[in-house]
Structure 1
Amino acid sequence: MTDTSDTRPAEGETKTPPQSRLHHLMRYLPLVAPFLLWAVPCWVIVHTGQHWPLPVTLVGTALFVLGLVGMPLAMARGHGRRQQDRAAIIGDTLLGTSWVLFTWSVLLGLLLRLALAAAGVGESQDRARIVTWAVLGVTVVLLAWGHLEARRVPRVRRLDVQLPRLGPGLDGMRVVLITDTHYGPLDRARWSARVCETVNALEADLVCHTGDIADGTAERRRAQAAPLATVRATRARVYVTGNHEYYSEAQGWIDLMDELGWEPLRNRHLLLERGGDTLVVAGVDDVTAESSGLAGHRADLARALTGADPHLPVLLLAHQPKFIDPAAAAGIDLQLSGHTHGGQIWPFHHLVRIDQPTLAGLSHHGSRTLLYTSRGTGFWGPPFRLFAPSEITLLVLRSPHPPTST
């Protein structure tokens, strides 16, 4: 492993992509989203023709009002200046619960009511109460399943990736990708250790973490991140920042990962050599780094590749898939990213697709660039994953001209 990074500023610095439509939309969501997330289920479950006894109606309405008021208060205490983990857990759980309630209140509230009416099932009150119990039942089942999915050690997803410029000496190189571990208010130190054990069983040549290690400072989440020191790779362990590092003292996380034996690739590259062939492994800061105000933090692909032989294949680590445009323009062979969580809680993936070019999996861009987007290893915020399972990814790099056996 050879370090060929260059600390001098380079011309042609990669520009940070402009703010997307999702960022503009997000400005208004905090004002209306909590009301909609709680008011719509309240209306569907309690007030649309069920004619519950008055005590039931009052208690049901009070519970939804409590959620409407309590969720933003708990989130503010948990994720604001006070950083109270217990409040964050309550607020995040209420957020996930309200999203699932809202989704299935809309879907079942409309579709099931129409289906029951078309089938001539009972009176309107009977149909309304069937919808209520169906929404509540589906919500409970999905939340229980989604919580188990979020807390489990991710399944390993394995795929072969052929890179046309990869030399035969590098054929079969094993690259393990973890990302978006999001160590946070829920203590997942044991989960972290089990993830690292799973990674070690894959006998990787290169292990990559593409950011969003945690929600909170390195000092606060050190115990959960500490098992990362046990990860083994025959060639290198490399890391790039995600957007969440820039919410909580990014330099502290860079320093901790360095302390744990990982190589932070801040607009730098390494050379991995095997069998007479060489792979450039480069990394860039997250695209939000420049707006963080931290001196020297920005996504700079030109600087990351300074000094690299342009004829060598390049594997690039970039937290967000949206960085694929400059990567494809530069002729990168393979970009590894995370960030999307695959949507995490269906159908949130529709909003993610407004902001990102891909949601998950392998995709082709430009004349030769491949992008692999991981659904993430952990979860952010609400402790649920619905129809977007987490993953540890094993990518086996393949050369179009593998070495011949003798």
Structure 2
Amino acid sequence: MTEAGDTRPAEGEARAPRQSGLQRLIRHVPLIAPVLLWAVPCWVLLHGGQHWPPPATPVGTALFALALVGMPFAMARGHGRRQQDRAAIVGDTLLGVGWVLFTWSVLLGVLLRLALTVAGVGESQDRARIVSCAVLGVTAVLLGWGYAEARRVPRVRRLDVVLPRLGPGLDGFRVALITDTHYGPLDRARWSARVCEMVNTLEADLVCHTGDIADGTAERRRAQATPLGTVRATRARVYVTGNHEYYSEAQGWVDLMDELGWQPLRNRHLLLERGGDTLVVAGVDDVTAESSGLAGHRAHLAGALSGTDPDLPVLLLAHQPKFVGQAAAAGIDLQLSGHTHGGQIWPFHHLVRIDQPTVAGLSHHGVRTLLYTSRGTGFWGPPFRVFAPSEITLLVLRSPRH
């Protein structure tokens, strides 16, 4: 029994865990990040000793303040319950502009100032103005180039992948991969049609879409997704859900893909035969599916492989690369994934690596499992791709016994 006024917990009473300084900081990141995103370039461009003639500094500062307030407001209206596409475009664009401005304000604000000091550019006003002009110039070039990169039809990336268990009859089997199309507020119906035309030129045996078809419901983005029905494959067209499907009625997307002639591999598989040899093509729901609360949706690899011959090679579709841990434990031969966008806007890929084992390309895991991570076919949110080009991938499977 504790005395009156004693604030110590009674015996057996759980103590609230004390949070570290880092944990407390992480809790405030959503509030701190937008402020830093706009405050840092505002200081580098306007308040770092430039002494711009009036009214440049007060007007510029007001614009940065407007962006700081307007970006989260627009994104909330665009991606929240209201789902207003125009607001989403404004918010997403501001996010991309802010990220590029912030990145190059930090880099040039430090490195270029140091270089100018070493070079003998002594007056602080001259140094500050040169840095400001450099930041604005680099940002303008990267945003213009990044916008063009995001909106163009992706280049085709071709590579041969040797699978030790692949039978000689399947040597040369062609797998086309598209992923993360992210049809969204910017209408990309024509872009979608051109992507599908490009896929058809590859004459693939199997065409795969590894999720994140769109941002929005199937009903809302149907016009942009409809060209997927024109994709041709000699054997099959298969699809698995991504995490963004679970933000917008995933079952509607599963149903639409089925309607368009794609086979949703929801924890199931199919067998493809050629030249007397067989390939298992399996798929799992995204790892976020179970937390969505949608009945019957979860990533279940054992269910996807149920009834298969363990001696057959397996090609697995899983939206997120981090599923490769389970794939490697099960002895999967090749996993195809997307999700990362290759970082989309440099240097965001460093943050992606915190959550995913790989950002792009072919990697080896466990005893025999290969993982191919696509940089994605479209883009999410900000309509920019900087040093992370989109791709349509053609993987040609090779047998070592051919």
Tell me if TM exceeds 0.5: yes
Deviations 1:357-404, CA, capped at 9 Å, x for gaps: 0010000001100000000000000000000000000000000111xx
With a CA cutoff of 8 Å and minimum separation of 6, indicate the structure with the bigger relative contact order.
Answer: 1
| TM-score relative to the length of structure 2 | 0.93
Q: Which amino acid aligns with 1:182?
A: H
What secondary structure is seen at the aligned counterpart in 1 of 2:379?
coil
Gaps of at least 5 residues in structure 2 are 1-22
Counterpart for residue 369 of structure 1: 369
Q: Does 1:239 align with 2:256?
A: no
* 1:327 maps onto 2:327 in alignment: yes
| CA-to-aligned-CA distance 1:20-67 (integer Å, 9 cap, x gap) | xxx999764321111010000001100011112241110010010011
**Letter paired with 1:191:** W
1:132-170 CA-partner distances (Å, limit 9, x unpaired): 010001000000000000000000000000000000110
* Matched position secondary structure for 1:345: coil
Aligned partners of 1:52, 1:224: CA distance in 2, in Å? 47
Q: Describe how 1:278-357 pairs up with structure 2 within 5 A.
A: 278-357=278-357
Offset at residue 324 of structure 1 (A): 0.3
- 1:95/1:26 Cα in 2 relative to 1: closer, same or farther (>3 Å)? farther
3-state secondary structure, aligned to 1:132: helix
Give the aligned residue type for 1:151. Answer: R
- CA shift digits 1:106-126 (9 cap, x unpaired): 000000011001111141101
Tell me which residue corresponds to 1:4: none
Instruction: Give 1:78-117 correspondences, 5 Å limit.
Output: 78-117=78-117
Whole-Å Cα distance in 2 between the matches of residues 321 and 56 of structure 1?
47
Report SS of the residue matched to 2:372. Answer: strand
SS in 1 for 2:55: helix
Q: What are the superposed Cα offsets for residues 257-292 of structure 1, whole Å, 9 maximum, x if unpaired? A: 000000000000000001110000000000000000
> Could you say which residue in structure 2 is the equivalent of 1:75?
75
SS of equivalent residue, structure 2 residue 278: strand
Q: Which amino acid aligns with 1:397?
A: L
Q: Could you say which residue in structure 2 is the equivalent of 1:36?
A: 36
How do residues 86-165 of structure 1 correspond to structure 2 at under 5 angstroms?
86-165=86-165
CA distance in 2, matches of 1:378, 1:102: 24
In 1, Cα distance between equivalents of 2:289 and 2:111:
44
Residue identity in the other structure for 1:305:
L
Q: Give distance in 1, aligned partners of 2:377 and 2:350.
A: 20
Aligned amino acid, residue 277 of structure 1: D
CA deviations over 1:70-129 (Å, ceiling 9, x no partner): 101110110011111011000000000000000000000000011001111141101100
Q: Please state whether the residue corresponding to 1:279 is helix, strand or coil.
A: strand
CA distance in 1, matches of 2:378, 2:288: 21
Within 5 Å, give how 1:264-283 maps onto structure 2: 264-283=264-283
Confirm whether residue 207 of structure 1 aligns to residue 207 of structure 2: yes
Count of residue pairs the alignment pairs up: 380
Q: Secondary structure at the match of 2:78?
A: helix
1:223 aligns with 2:223: yes
| Structure 1: distance between partners of 2:168 and 2:132 | 61
Which 5+ residue runs of structure 1 have no aligned equivalent?
Answer: 1-22
CA RMSD of aligned residues (A): 1.2
Alignment partner, residue 8 of structure 2: none
Identity of aligned residues (%): 87
Partner letter of residue 276 of structure 2?
Answer: G
| AA partner of residue 357 (structure 1) | P
Deviations 1:288-331 (A, max 9, x none): 00000011111000000000000000000000000000100000
**In the alignment, which residue of structure 2 is the partner of 1:384?**
384
Q: Deviations over 1:181-201 (max 9, x none)?
A: 000000000000000000000
For 2:222, the aligned partner's letter is R
1:331 alignment partner, SS class: coil
SS at match of 1:357: coil
TM-score of the superposed pair, with normalisation by structure 1: 0.92
* 1:251 counterpart residue number: 251
Q: Using the alignment, how far apart are the partners of 2:29 and 2:244 within structure 1?
A: 19
Equivalent position amino acid for 1:361 in 2: G
- Alignment partner, residue 358 of structure 2: 358
After superposing the two structures, state which structure 1 stretch, 63-72 or 24-33, moved more. 24-33
Corresponding residue for 2:179? Answer: 179
The code of the aligned residue for 1:226 comes to T
Q: How far apart, in 2, do the equivalents of 1:135 and 1:390 lie? A: 25
Distance in 2, matches of 1:345 and 1:187, equals 21
Cα gap change, 1:283 to 1:24, in 2 (>3 Å): farther
